[in-house]
Amino acid sequence: MGVGSSHGNGLFFRTLTEKQAEEIHLASCQVLEDTGMVIHHEEAVELLRQAGAHVEKGNRVYFPSFLVKQALQSAPSRVTLYNRKGEAALHLEGANVYFGTGSDTLNYLDPFTLERRSWRQEDVTNAIRLCDKLPNIDFVMSMGLLSDVDPRMINREQYAIMVQNTEKPQVVIAEDGDTLLDIIEMAACAVGGKERLRQKPLFMIYTEPTSPLQHPKESVEKLLIAAENRVPANFACGGVAGASVPTTIAGALVQANAEALSGLIIHQLKAPGAPFIYGYGNSPLDMRTMQAVYGTPEAVLFQGGAVDLAHYYQLPSWGYAGCSNSKVCDEQAIAESTMFTMMGALQGCNIMHDVFYMEFGITGSLELLVISNEVIGRTRRLLKGINTDKESLGVESIMRVGPGGNFLGDDHTAKHFRDNWFPDLSDFNNYENWTAGGSKTMIERARDQIKQVLETYQPKPVTQDVRAQIAEILRKAKEKVGEKA
């Protein structure tokens, strides 16, 4: 399998040539072997030493290139995430694309009062309910950092909200290994046991190195727990080009790739064949404001390069979509998020997160989420390409209608017009009908939709028994973190 993504019919997209992918791969291998990484985790260092890595000063690890090859050999080229019902939901393989939210924004842009404020549990609950309803949001992340719970319990409480308010798969952040173990417990309750969760994972865990070239203890700990429990995991550098990774796109790719591969090596040494999602991000540093910004053209290209490397390695890919630097859900927000969503889809990035991120990920907007749901719908239609079968060519229809006729009354139109995309939020009325409907702008219609969903929609609940078990896990965890304090 070469680089590039084949979508519907003739539609094909690629960012790198196979030769470029190889150049980046070789450069990353050189970084791994000659510069190495600092790994703050004894077990991981030991695993690597025994596998043939060179270790200096206790934790500086130099990776011989054969370890890369070995890890790529054992890692699966496809990973499936399941929903709470145990049905296969996300097939992370080939050019399949899936979209979901991001985690842990500090501020909630309240769509009703329009204030920017801290997230409370009820806000995250509402946001997750909305995600459960939106057809083009395929998975959820925690969305908001909870301001009304014990800070050491945030990720556990977020998970409890997610798993009880949507059947969709999740991507999870965990403060540390203990948190991850509790999340595994909660997920196991929801799907009917640990063995079932292992066989049909409901969530994947997001872990990350600290660029440049360092592996924090907690990240590696989570990576190893994930490998052992067959929880799909990534090891995703969140690079800041010009600060934590090189400013050139290629340089950023080389280093981020080296970091991802080092994570993959540790992961596969711990449990060969455990599911791993390859990918990483890059938010280049804006040299005027010193902000790490989302979705610049370079960041979008970078993702294309990362996805083509995933194809080159035959690994599922991880990335971004639907996010913005804007402070409110305005024209900039839609321009940035839409470009990222569409390009990410064309790139064939398997699992894209951060849909609804504003202000570099500091704030979250449900309006952006709902509008992105529509943008993703448009995009999914684009990915189907052009069908050129006999029926679609429509020669007989053209013959029937003839010169000066009208296709509106022809059978072919009635049979096929519903294959086309229809808007949910976009307004296609003429001016008169638009004004008759209240002259509402897109964001006003988005708010109406949010209101309507939150007033009327109830996601499928978990059983009383599961609810009680989750409450018990949280209670024990509170005791545990209380003891530590």
Partner 1 sequence: MSDFTSLAELVINGNYNGAKDLTQKMIDNGNDPLEIINQGLMAGMNVVGVRFKAGDMYVPEVMMSAKAMSTGIELLKPLIADKDMPTAGKVVIGTVKGDLHDIGKKLVVMMMESAGFEIIDLGVDIDPAAFVKAVKEHSPQVIGLSALLTTTMLSMKDTIEALKEEGLRDSVKVVIGGAPISQSFADEIGADGYAADAASATELCRRIIA
Q: In the complex, which residues of this chain contact partner 1 (CB under 8 A)? A: 406, 408-409, 411, 413-414, 417-418, 430-433
Beta carbon of residue 432, minimum distance to partner 1 (angstroms, whole number): 4
Sign of CA dihedral 130, 427, 376, 381: positive
CB 104 within 8 A of CB 142: yes
SS3 of residue 183 by DSSP:
helix
Beta carbon of residue 424, minimum distance to partner 1 (angstroms, whole number): 12
Give the residue among 249, 164, 272, 263 at the shortest CA–CA distance from 208. Answer: 263
The one-character DSSP state at 15 is S
Beta carbon of residue 425, minimum distance to partner 1 (angstroms, whole number): 14
Give the residue among 270, 280, 342, 344 at the shortest CA–CA distance from 315. Answer: 280
Give whichever of 118 and 433 is closer to partner 1, judged by the CB atom. Answer: 433
Beta carbon of residue 414, minimum distance to partner 1 (angstroms, whole number): 4
Give the residue among 290, 200, 222, 209 at the shortest CA–CA distance from 256. Answer: 209
- Please name the residue that has the structure tokens 């390695």: 313
Give the residue among 248, 372, 356 at the shortest CA–CA distance from 299. Answer: 248
CB 298 within 8 A of CB 333: no
Beta carbon of residue 7, minimum distance to partner 1 (angstroms, whole number): 27
Query: Cα angle vertex 318, ends 39, 103, to 5°?
Result: 80
Give whichever of 212 and 377 is closer to partner 1, judged by the CB atom. Answer: 377
- CB crowding 121-136: b at 16 or more within 10 Å, else e: bebbbbbbbbbbbbeb
Measured CA to CA, the distance from residue 300 to residue 436 in angstroms comes to: 40
Beta carbon of residue 423, minimum distance to partner 1 (angstroms, whole number): 12
Give whichever of 425 and 481 is closer to partner 1, judged by the CB atom. Answer: 425
Q: Which residues pair with 320 in a beta bridge?
A: 353
Give whichever of 62 and 407 is closer to partner 1, judged by the CB atom. Answer: 407
Query: Cα angle vertex 171, ends 167, 176, to 5°?
Result: 125
How far, in whole angstroms, is CA 305 from its chain's centroid?
17
Q: Which amino acid is at 60?
A: R
Give whichever of 286 and 424 is closer to partner 1, judged by the CB atom. Answer: 424
- Read off the tokens for 35: 């510069």
CB 165 within 8 A of CB 132: yes
